[in-house]
Structure 1
Amino acid sequence: MSNAQLLPTFKLGVKGALGFSSLSSEGRFFNSDTKTGFQLGAWGRVGIAGFHVQPEAYYASKKVGAQFEQSGEKGEATFQSFDVPILLGTRIGLGPIGVRVQAGPVFSFAQDGKVNFTTATDWDRYKKTSTGIVGGIGADISKFTVDLRYEHGLTDLNESPDYNQKIRMWTIGVGFAFL
């Protein structure tokens, strides 16, 4: 191993992403449709010997559509949260061009602890925090980054024992490293 691989690397940047999310419901409370939301925030990356840790912090607006099974009524929910993923990964490439593979946990903190829904129901029972796992691939081209990721909720979002609801989301994001 050369000394260059043992030197730590550091990057800091901003990012934005489009998220395509749905809400799984094992209680068969409703059928969920995929809706488009967004993420805006910052990221950092510390690497050594080909591996890196990439913590991020961003505001997320995750939207889902729903059709209630009993009434047939349709609506949309918006989950607004502050998300903190901590990704572990590796980068393969030379110089300013590289491909990344990353995965890790994501911790979500609801902005107001509520879900805004266009249909009247008991949305105050949604939790203020949740945990998930996220993984994906990315590319670095000089100071620009592009990512494709999948996030799978691990935590039941609803306090009701009747429903097991979790967010599932694909994101496509772009970023810029200013350090």
Structure 2
Amino acid sequence: MKRIMCAALLSAAFLTGTAGLAQEQQTPAEKALSPKFGIKGGVNLTNMYVKDVSDENMKVGFNAGFFAKLPVARGFSIQPELLYTSKGAKETYNNFVEGKGEYRFNLNYIELPVLAVFNVAKNFNVHVGPYVSYLAAANIKDLKDDGTIHEITDLDAENFNRFDYGVAGGFGIDISNFTLGARYNYGFREIGKSGSLSGQLTKDSKNSAISLYIGIGF
């Protein structure tokens, strides 16, 4: 399903690219296209996906950072961003040894997406492109059903793959200098290191995130 969504975003961007070149990007107060720089932030709905695991649960996180919108032609821009973004998942367990509870994976990345932005209407755009990210911090907690919380100190950022990469795609609504948008990130690299405790707990899973955001450009 995630592969289909990713392919659909890629197809939409390329199929609408030609039409987008006829659309304006500047605000009513601007006489010509000009670069914009701004700040943005919002909410992440994240998970870790893997073929043979079905008991993952979505975790709420956040995203915040900076962006630049660099016009190439009318209706087409390149948008690099620098974000601090929280990913991970909640994974429930129920067995004789551990009892009932939930592992909560909090993975915080410094992320650099570089997006091609196509304006398909005056205030509406579709964007798609690659991203790379660096795992800055990791915090894994064990939440028992009785309310107790234990931090798994054996696992920190060094126990996971530091670098991640993948593709991002979504849409945005531009109103003057404000932007609202939604985006899906699809990771290509496994989160845990193969043959390690992190790899066993995450079961070779990868990052998956839906981001909702608001931004302002200057």
| Alignment TM-score, normalising by the size of structure 2 | 0.70
> Is residue 101 of structure 2 the alignment partner of residue 61 of structure 1?
no
**2:117 alignment partner in structure 1:** 89
Mapped to 1, the partners of 2:50 and 2:190 lie a distance apart of 9
More helix by share: 2
Q: Provide the rounded CA distance (Å) in 1 between the counterparts of 2:182 and 2:42.
A: 9
C-alpha distance after superposition, 1:85-112 (max 9, x if no partner): 0001211344xxx111001111111113
Preserved CA contact (<8 Å) 1:17 1:174: yes
Residue 68 of structure 2 corresponds to residue 44 of structure 1: yes
For 2:139, the equivalent position in structure 1 comes to 116
- Counterpart CA distance in 1 for 2:57 and 2:121 is 38
2:204 aligned residue:
164
The letter of the residue matching 2:111 is D
Structure 1 residue 172: Cα displacement: 0.8
**Superposed counterparts of 1:17-36, under 5 Å:** 17-26=42-51, 28=53, 31-36=55-60
The one-letter amino acid of 1:15's match is: K
Q: Name whichever structure is richer in strand by fraction.
A: 1
* Aligned pairs for 1:91-170 within 5 A: 91-94=119-122, 98-112=123-137, 115-119=138-142, 120=152, 123-124=155-156, 125-160=159-194, 163-170=203-210
C-alpha distance in 1 between matches for 2:135 and 2:114 = 18
Q: Distance in 2 between matches of 1:12 and 1:116?
A: 32
Q: How many residues align?
A: 170
Stretches of structure 2 that go unaligned for 5 or more consecutive residues are: 1-20, 26-31, 143-151
TM-score, length-normalised on structure 1?
0.84
Q: Secondary structure at the match of 2:190?
A: coil
> Once structures 1 and 2 are overlaid, which stretch shifts more, 64-73 or 168-177?
64-73
1:100-159 C-alpha deviation (Å, 9 max, x unpaired): 1001111111113xx311134863531111012110010100010001111111111111
Q: Distance between the aligned counterparts of 1:169 and 1:134, measured in 2?
A: 9
**Is there any run of 5+ residues in structure 1 with no aligned partner, and where?**
none
* Pair 69,104 (structure 1): closer, same or farther in 2 beyond 3 Å: farther
Alpha-carbon distance in 2 for matches of 1:92, 1:143: 18
CA separation in 2, counterparts of 1:47 and 1:86? Answer: 13
SS at match of 2:184: strand
